[in-house]
Amino acid sequence: MVAGQGQLTKLLQAWSHGDQSALDQLTPLIYAELRKLARFHMSRESAGHTLQPTALINEAFLKLIDISGADWQSRKHFYAAASQIMRRVLVDYARKKRSYKRGRDHRRVPFEEALAYPSDLPEATDIVAFDEALRKLAGIDARKAQVVELWFFGGMTVEEIAGAMDIGTSTVHRDLEFAKVWLARELKSIERGDYPTQ
Amino acid sequence: MNKEFWAKVENAYLEAAELPGEQRTPFLEKVYRDRPDVRLEVESLLQHKEAAEHLTQSSIVVSAASLFDDDDDLIGTIVGGKYRVRECIGSGGQADVYLADHIALDSSFALKRAAPILRKDPEFRQRFLEEARRAVVLRHDNVARVHDVLESGGEMFVVMEHIEGETLRQRLERIRRPLTVEEFLPIALQCAAALAAAHEKRIVHLDVKPENIMLTTDGRVKICDFGIARRLSAKSNSDTSDASTPDWTFAGTPAYMAPEVILSYQFDERADLFSLGTVFYEMLTGRNPFLAATSPATTARVVSEPAALIDNPAVNRKLEKIVMRLLEKDPEDRFHNARELQTELDSVRRSQRRLRDAATDIREAFTESRWIKIAAFTLLAIVAAASALWMNWYRIERVWLARLPERRIVVVLPFTVIQDSAPRSYMDGLTELITAKLAELSNAVPQLIIRPASEVRQAGIISPQEASGRLGANLALEGSVYAVGDSFQFVLRLTDPKELKQLRSKVITVSKLDSLVVENGIMTSALQMLELEIMPAQRAALAAKGTSDPQAYEFYLNAIGYLASRTTDSVENAIQQFREALILDNSFTLPRAGLGEAYLVKYEAIAKDPELITRAQEACERALSIDPDLQEGHICSGNVYYAIGEYRAAVEEFRRALQSKAPSSLNVHYESSMLSAFQPKLRIEPGFDAAYRGLGRAYQALDDLEAAEATYLKAVKERPDYLYSYTWLGQFYATARQKYGESVELFKKARDLSPDNLVPHLALCGAYILLGRHKESIEECTASIAISPTASGYMNLGVALSMTRNFQEAASAFTHARELNPKYYKVVGHLARAYYWIPGKRGESLAIFRNAISLAQDELRTNPYNWDVHIMTARYWAMVGDRNSALSHLNTALKGHPKNAHYQAIAAVIFNQFGERALAVNLLQQAVAGGYSTADIDAEVELDNLREDPGFRAFIAARATNVR
């Protein structure tokens, strides 16, 4: 893992400079980390524990990327690229999986039925729907959409977001509060309409 | 999105969200008094405040984890050194099943693997292994073979026989009806045989359900998934060893579980018999006897409620007794074992064969009377049912006279009452019901066409001659009732309306006006007179349903009769009678849904009081909470959601209505006239029509035009003889696609199907307006008013006259429309505009515009997402010169339908009103590119000032060389 860090960092940088092929090399590595993460969360050992609200970046991404590697112009740049790539990888994966399942018309018994789910776990969010709603928000208010992306996919704190975007923390708070409710409404209508998300 | 609006909404939201819940609305009303758009948006957002709190950083960790957790990493790999995994073919709570090819042999197998969550659980692994080993012992033609158990990559796999076919669940969902007894018996017999074989090896299945019963393409049955099967102690089944007492929780399916399994006391093979009984019940009725809205409720019913009797008349007593015996709560009361069940089923099969042979004999005797055959040997079932159930109630006299036409176009004339022997509304309701049931049946019988009751009513047809002349019928069904001493006689006549010759007649005598008996009697007689054989499943669907209280049913019937005409009194009466029905039988779901529809009718047609919507919603929800599959309930709910602008929720409801397994007996539905959603005509018609219409409208409101078009096309395909299928599609083409030519063709088709119906005339009037063919449009509107004066007829007439700049006459037409529907903002808005352009009347017009705006605001209170209301409100504000209000509504409307050409044209008018000519011209160009009728632009008096504008002229000139 450590041996690969330099290369991974380069890939992420290459991608953030517009090299699309870097993404193809990066994706399986991120998948592997996410799988590990999944195994940890779903294993019996962790089920009894309360999940710490650690964000994805910290869980999966920082292991891969050497942020102190100083090639980054700033933390800001790194976070922006990392949040974006995480969003992209997750959404692509969720979408692929969804279309695969639809194609076979297979039914999965809701997870809750199979196993008593510890009730203090946060609810899962439909990533594809969330992405769609976020894209819509970006069309109306690009700043709010970016705040949400950094916060949700990048796992940054309010202070980090404020620093990265050169805005005040109170603005970040306001943006988040308003964007969340707007997104929640959007998600609800997506969910209820079950209209195709492509 | 308007930046000012967005910023205002953000501020208002954040301020309001700080306040305690009950202070929010008063705060918004006070501070944003003159910004209803902001207020509505914030109120809508506040409803999602709680949901927003669930969007946390941890929620994405969980989402990502669950996304990657059940990853199909197996596909393409080789398992156990010999099976190449092709694809995942199923997933359940406990295991996934993959299709795999043996790399050496030319054969495929099913590989079963524990669900991800259980893979690493050593206890589960142990069980998985043990159970598979047990199942290997089991070899029977009707049990899916387990070939092997293997370990690969640290996981256990069970190698099973791969079966081509479908599960019983898939079959039931595909055919959307119960199985016939003929279809049922071979499946049931093979299931019994499979369980008998397993039980003889002391293996119980414990999860028998339709998902686990495979039907192969060649008609064999294979029971799968002895996944949680366990072997009983060989010693004795009264032994309380762990073999018969579950010592860990397994995920069976409560709706199919035996009570003793749920209660976790001792159980044996007979638990499987109970599960099989629930499966049999579902096969014969289309529904699980115990399934309730939630698992705990289902469990409670399994444990303590007896199953209702099977309501399928094709199922004879003997078969019903077998199923009911399987469903006994106490295992002692069930069959002793599966072999005994097998013997009983076999004897039913043998007697069924004898019946069929007899039926063939009867049919041969009737060969010259051209019966339409829907299914084999079912006439016998009907007659047998009739004699068993109803012989005590009435007697049937039949006289066969002449032959019926091959294609039967039937009008059911209003049943008549002789000497006040029965209430008028009762007979009206009965006429509606019988028509609706026959119409429903006609969906399945291409040779049968039933003219909808609404058409008959609208055209005011009461005689067979009229039925022939005006609705093109070749058969008329008439009915009358009179009292004879203590009993009632119904006389049914089937006549040839051209020759005025009586073809068939029947007399039904009943001892009292018990609606269930009357309706069943009339239906049976009508079907016999029409020489229709009918499948048992359809019969079951047509049988009156939902209550065992005849009086409650009668109230329901009366209410439906009242609801058919939409006057204030009749709607109140309908509400009253639905309530009476509910007082007598609180669990009777149809009047609940009916009540919901009645409140909605009252809201739409009489009083725009939001309280009515709330009540409608409650009534629909109650109906669905009792019967989650009730088609009427979903349609009712869909209509409510549509009325309040929750279009996605409406889509969901109508879809569920279309999926509901039991076709509904009838449905109440709104028909809107061309280009306006008001003055809907209430119609009673088969539920599927109402559901298609509702679904199409909701998709349209969501701007999902592809889905809307597909829905309407499907409706036309399903009901090619149904006039409204064409008007819906035509309306859609005109309003959403701007394909006015297509619309006109479709409306003409509808008009030809039913020349005396006013709807096609109204629709044509509207389409001609859009095509700029004002003369024809005035003709069609006038024709519609001649049939029946309606607000929409007058309104469209007024619009056509406005187009010809005849504002004086237009104002008079709008005044008529306003008298008929004073609360409709659009009528008032049009009237205001006509006054605006009549010389010397502009001053008067302003007050009328304000009235229109206030009526529109009333509508927006109920449905803030009605984009049409927003766009028209914007236009009215522009006419009175309030730029801010106009732009705010315009933005809202364009947010809803960004590409609607009609909206763009109105936006052009609005900007032009405020002197922004360049923008107006630009918008007009977009509108025309989007298909907006250029004739309309020519007619818009508001755009006259642009006609000298060079940009406008250039674009008009370009268009002239490029006419469609």
**Least CA distance to A56: which residue of chain B?**
B61
Helix (H, G, I), strand (E, B) or coil at B671: strand
pLDDT tens digits, A63-120: 555 555 545 455 567 677 778 877 887 787 777 666 544 433 333 322 222 222 333 3
**Least CA distance to B9: which residue of chain A?**
A178
Interface check for B318 against chain A (CB to CB < 8 A): the answer is: no
In a domain, A16, yes or no: yes
Instruction: Please give the Cα distance from B864 to B365 (Å, whole number).
Output: 65
Contact A106 B71 (CB under 8 A): no
**Least CA distance to A53: which residue of chain B?**
B58
Interface check for B659 against chain A (CB to CB < 8 A): the answer is: no
Q: What burial letters (b/e) apply to B173-183, b meaning 16+ CB within 10 Å?
A: eeeebbbbbbe
pLDDT tens digits, B718-746: 777 777 788 889 888 887 887 888 889 99
**Dihedral (CA of B947, B952, B954, B957) sign:** negative
Contact B343, B349 (CB under 8 A): no
Instruction: Please give the Cα distance from A47 to A56 (Å, whole number).
Output: 18
All residues of chain A having their beta carbon less than 8 Å from the beta carbon of residue B647 are 193
In a domain, A198, yes or no: no
Contact A181 B14 (CB under 8 A): no
Which A residues 94-113 touch B at CB under 8 Å?
Answer: 94, 97, 100, 104, 106-109, 111, 113
Q: For the packed helices B589-601 and B610-626, what is the interaxial angle rounded to 10 degrees?
A: 160
Question: Rounded mean pLDDT of chain B?
Answer: 77
**Dihedral (CA of B655, B659, B662, B664) sign:** positive
- Please state the domain extents for chain B: 3-66, 75-161, 165-339, 378-544, 545-721
Interface-testing mutation among A42, A111, A136, A140, with chain B (most B C-beta atoms within 10 A): A42
Interface check for B89 against chain A (CB to CB < 8 A): the answer is: yes
In a domain, A58, yes or no: yes
Fill in the DSSP letter of residue B143.
Answer: B
The owner of tokens 């308003």 is A178
B229: left (phi over 0), alpha (psi -120 to 50) or beta: beta
Q: How far is CA B906 from the centre of its chain?
A: 35
Contact B702 A193 (CB under 8 A): yes
Q: What burial letters (b/e) apply to B454-466, b meaning 16+ CB within 10 Å?
A: bbbbbbebeebeb
Distance from CA of B93 to the nearest CA of A (A): 5
**CATH assignment, B545-721:** 1.25.40.10
Interface-testing mutation among A181, A182, A190, A195, with chain B (most B C-beta atoms within 10 A): A181
**Least CA distance to A31: which residue of chain B?**
B68
**CATH assignment, B75-161:** 3.30.200.20
Instruction: Please give the Cα distance from B741 to B772 (Å, whole number).
Output: 12
State the greatest distance between any 2 C-alpha atoms of chain B, in Å, as a whole number.
105
> What is the domain count for chain A?
1
- What are residue B115's phi and psi, to 5 degrees? -60, 150
Could you tell me which residues come within 8 angstroms of residue B717 by beta carbon, excluding any fewer than 6 positions away?
none
pLDDT band at B54; cut points 50, 70, 90: confident
Query: Quick one: pLDDT at residue A56?
Result: 52
Interface check for A61 against chain B (CB to CB < 8 A): the answer is: no
Nearest Cα to Cα of residue B784 among B772, B775, B797: B797
Task: Kindly tell me if the per-residue pLDDT of B237 is higher than 50.
Answer: no
Interface-testing mutation among B8, B42, B55, B228, with chain A (most A C-beta atoms within 10 A): B55
CA dihedral B920, B926, B928, B929 (to 10 degrees): 160
Instruction: Please give the Cα distance from B378 to B799 (Å, whole number).
Output: 56
Fill in the DSSP letter of residue B943.
Answer: G
Element holding B480 (H helix, E strand): strand B475-484
Interface check for B88 against chain A (CB to CB < 8 A): the answer is: yes
All residues of chain A having their beta carbon less than 8 Å from the beta carbon of residue B1 are 139-141
pLDDT tens digits, B157-206: 888 888 888 889 888 888 878 888 889 999 999 999 999 998 888 888 88
The residue that leads in pLDDT, A53 or B126, is B126
B373 CB neighbour count, 10 Å cutoff: 13
Query: Quick one: pLDDT at residue B889?
Result: 92
Instruction: Please give the Cα distance from B246 to B399 (Å, whole number).
Output: 65
Could you tell me which residues come within 8 angstroms of residue B941 by beta carbon, excluding any fewer than 6 positions away?
B805, B837
CA–CA distance from B853 to each of B817, B870, B886 (Å)? 17, 10, 11
Q: Which CATH architecture has domain B165-339?
A: Orthogonal Bundle (1.10)
Helix (H, G, I), strand (E, B) or coil at B756: coil
pLDDT tens digits, B536-581: 433 444 444 566 666 677 677 777 767 765 667 778 888 988 988 8
The residue that leads in pLDDT, B813 or A16, is B813
The owner of tokens 């070939």 is B147
Share of chain A above pLDDT 90, in %: 15
Lowest mean pLDDT among A31-45, B566-580, B886-900: A31-45
Which entry of B34, B72, B106, B207 is annotated as an active-site residue? B207
All residues of chain A having their beta carbon less than 8 Å from the beta carbon of residue B46 are 181
Distance from CA of B487 to the nearest CA of A (A): 53
Which residues make beta-bridge pairs with B670?
Answer: B682
B938 CB neighbour count, 10 Å cutoff: 12
Interface check for B58 against chain A (CB to CB < 8 A): the answer is: yes
In a domain, A35, yes or no: yes
Instruction: Please give the Cα distance from B347 to B117 (Å, whole number).
Output: 47
Instruction: Please give the Cα distance from B237 to B231 (Å, whole number).
Output: 10
One-letter amino acid of B295? S
Distance from CA of B53 to the nearest CA of A (A): 8
One-letter amino acid of A160? E
B318 CB neighbour count, 10 Å cutoff: 13
Instruction: Please give the Cα distance from B910 to B906 (Å, whole number).
Output: 6
Query: Quick one: pLDDT at residue B542?
Result: 41
All residues of chain B having their beta carbon less than 8 Å from the beta carbon of residue A195 are 648, 651, 702, 704, 707
Contact A115 B117 (CB under 8 A): yes
Which B residues 112-151 touch A at CB under 8 Å?
Answer: 115-117, 120-121
Per this entry, what is the length of chain A? 198
User: Shortest CB distance from A108 goes to which of B60, B63, B91?
Assistant: B91
Which residues form the domain of A14?
5-193
Nearest Cα to Cα of residue B523 among B632, B424, B666: B666
pLDDT band at B106; cut points 50, 70, 90: confident
Instruction: Please give the Cα distance from B576 to B450 (Å, whole number).
Output: 30
DSSP string over B100-130:
EEESSSS-EEEEEEE-HHHHT-HHHHHHHHH
Q: How far is CA B832 from the centre of its chain?
A: 40
Per this entry, what is the length of chain B? 964
Element holding B411 (H helix, E strand): strand B408-412
Interface check for B90 against chain A (CB to CB < 8 A): the answer is: yes
Is B207 a known active-site residue? Answer: yes
User: Shortest CB distance from B48 goes to which of A60, A181, A194?
Assistant: A181
Share of chain B above pLDDT 90, in %: 17
Task: Kindly tell me if the per-residue pLDDT of B674 is higher than 70.
Answer: no
Contact A174 B10 (CB under 8 A): yes
The residue that leads in pLDDT, B525 or B333, is B333
Interface check for A41 against chain B (CB to CB < 8 A): the answer is: yes
Interface check for B543 against chain A (CB to CB < 8 A): the answer is: no
**Overall average pLDDT of the B291-320 stretch:** 79
Q: What burial letters (b/e) apply to B396-435, b meaning 16+ CB within 10 Å?
A: beeeeeeebeeebbbbbbbbebeeeebeebbbbbbbbbbb
Instruction: Please give the Cα distance from B161 to B141 (Å, whole number).
Output: 11
Which residues make beta-bridge pairs with B216?
Answer: B165
Lowest mean pLDDT among B19-23, B153-157, B877-881: B153-157
Burial class (CB in 10 A: 0-12, 13-18, 19+), B713: middle
Contact B67 A55 (CB under 8 A): no
Instruction: Please give the Cα distance from A43 to B172 (Å, whole number).
Output: 37
**CATH assignment, B378-544:** 3.40.50.10070
In a domain, A116, yes or no: yes
Fill in the DSSP letter of residue B206.
Answer: S
B246 CB neighbour count, 10 Å cutoff: 16
List the structure tokens of B822. 């004073």
Helix (H, G, I), strand (E, B) or coil at B510: strand
**What is the number of alpha carbons within 13 Å of residue B214 lying toward its C-beta?**
19
Instruction: Please give the Cα distance from B736 to B364 (Å, whole number).
Output: 55
Which residues make beta-bridge pairs with B667?
Answer: B685
Contact B251 A113 (CB under 8 A): yes
Contact B63 A189 (CB under 8 A): no
Instruction: Please give the Cα distance from B861 to B43 (Å, whole number).
Output: 11
Lowest mean pLDDT among B90-99, B496-505, B640-649: B90-99
Contact A93 B68 (CB under 8 A): yes
User: Shortest CB distance from A124 goes to which of B53, B57, B63?
Assistant: B63
Interface check for B705 against chain A (CB to CB < 8 A): the answer is: no
> Helix, strand, coil % (nearest 5) of chain B?
60, 10, 30
What predicted TM-score, i.e. pTM, was given to this entire model? 0.38
**Overall average pLDDT of the A159-176 stretch:** 90
Would B378-544 and B545-721 be classified into the same CATH topology? no
Contact A54 B61 (CB under 8 A): yes
Q: Which ipTM value was assigned to this complex? A: 0.79
Element holding B906 (H helix, E strand): helix B901-913
Query: Quick one: pLDDT at residue B851?
Result: 93
- What are residue B253's phi and psi, to 5 degrees? -115, 115
Instruction: Please give the Cα distance from B132 to B856 (Å, whole number).
Output: 68
The owner of tokens 């199907």 is B753
Could you tell me which residues come within 8 angstroms of residue A7 by beta carbon, excluding any fewer than 6 positions away?
none
In a domain, A137, yes or no: yes
B288: left (phi over 0), alpha (psi -120 to 50) or beta: beta
Contact A56 B67 (CB under 8 A): no
Query: Quick one: pLDDT at residue B797?
Result: 92
B332 CB neighbour count, 10 Å cutoff: 8
Contact A124 B62 (CB under 8 A): yes
pLDDT band at B301; cut points 50, 70, 90: confident
Interface check for B103 against chain A (CB to CB < 8 A): the answer is: no
Nearest Cα to Cα of residue B66 among A7, A81, A43, A76: A43
List the structure tokens of B404. 């019926």
Contact B925, B955 (CB under 8 A): yes
Which B residues 247-306 touch A at CB under 8 Å?
Answer: 251
Contact B702 A127 (CB under 8 A): no
**Least CA distance to A156: which residue of chain B?**
B57
Element holding B365 (H helix, E strand): helix B338-365
Could you tell me which residues come within 8 angstroms of residue A68 by beta carbon, excluding any fewer than 6 positions away?
none
Contact A184 B251 (CB under 8 A): no
Chain A and chain B share a number of CB contacts under 8 A equal to: 176
Contact B787, B778 (CB under 8 A): no
